[in-house]
Amino acid sequence: MKTQKTWFITGASRGFGLNITKAVLASGDKVVATVRNKPEELATQFNNNENLYVVTLDITNEAQAKQAAAQAIDHFGSIDVLVNNAGYGLLAAVEEATDQEVKQNYEVNVFGTLNVIRAVLPYMRKQHSGHVINISSVGGLGAYYGWGLYGSTKFAIEGITEGMALELAPLGIHATVVAPGFFRTNFLDTSSLSRTANVIDDYAETVGTMRQFATEANYQQPGDPEKLAQAFVKLAAAENPPVHLPLGNDTLKRFREKTAAFEKDIADWYDVVTGTDHDDVAVKA
């Protein structure tokens, strides 16, 4: 017999968050959906579904994150699945972005995610169960020009989740990092993607072509967000979920290319790689 779960999904008003919310409600589970403003609009969109509770949350505000988690517990009694979805993209050469633009991207994508994790985990630890699902990106598995800074925030999420998986396993809590490729959402719109005003002409052949690609590829991406949402439902129902879940053939291809290139670098530099231990250690090996 299926046990009804309660999900806590950040950034639920659009994109992946909205698609996952729809799929979870359709599966019969409950959802605490967070939005930055106008919570009544999302509730109305779902005809005030009794299994949906919408709360206001700016994830960069840790006090607000703790309040939202407490509201979720008061309303539904538990948080069984946390989906850290809220975030935004930054398209720029590493050199082009200002200090403030980079810090803001980290403030939302990394520190905001950590705010929500710290707000929710005490309840999961108390109930000795739960599943934290953090959303990364294909850019968190391998860098692309133009996405180095944004990708670095997702590299951080990959590492944070790996550490959490090790720390939380003895407590009965799972942690998974999902790395989607290019999906047909509004991610490339101005609502989700920030482009720097500073443009350096020397990067025209790399970052410049990526800017053009991002414009042309908008709403032409290969990934189906509804299928992604169903993958999340399946993931949360798994008895032994993976720590890493890449989604999309483009993500899988990118990851395999990176690991193959990494292996080639190791083979080409094997003597250097293995030749840096102390001599007494090397003799024992």
Contact 235, 227 (CB under 8 A): no
The H-or-E segment that residue 153 falls in is helix 148-168
- Rounded Cα distance, 275 and 121, in Å: 43
Q: What are phi and psi of 246, to 5 degrees?
A: -75, 140
219 is catalytic: no
- Rounded Cα distance, 132 and 208, in Å: 36
Beta strands per DSSP E along 197-274:
244-247
Residue whose pair of structure tokens reads 């509730």 in the numeric block: 43
154 is catalytic: yes
Residue whose pair of structure tokens reads 């017999």 in the numeric block: 1
- Rounded Cα distance, 194 and 219, in Å: 17
Q: Which of 13, 27, 152, 154 is catalytic?
A: 154
Q: Which two tokens stand for residue 73?
A: 């517990």
Q: Which of 30, 150, 152, 203 is catalytic?
A: 150
Q: How far are the Cα atoms of 31, 51, 121, 141, 218 from residue 127, in angstroms, in the given order?
A: 18, 21, 10, 32, 42
Q: What are phi and psi of 85, to 5 degrees?
A: -105, -30
- DSSP letter at 112 equals I
- Rounded Cα distance, 279 and 120, in Å: 48
Contacts of 260 by beta carbon, 8 Å cutoff, 6+ apart: none
Q: Which of 136, 137, 152, 203 is catalytic?
A: 136
136 is catalytic: yes
Instruction: State the catalytic residues.
Output: 136, 150, 154
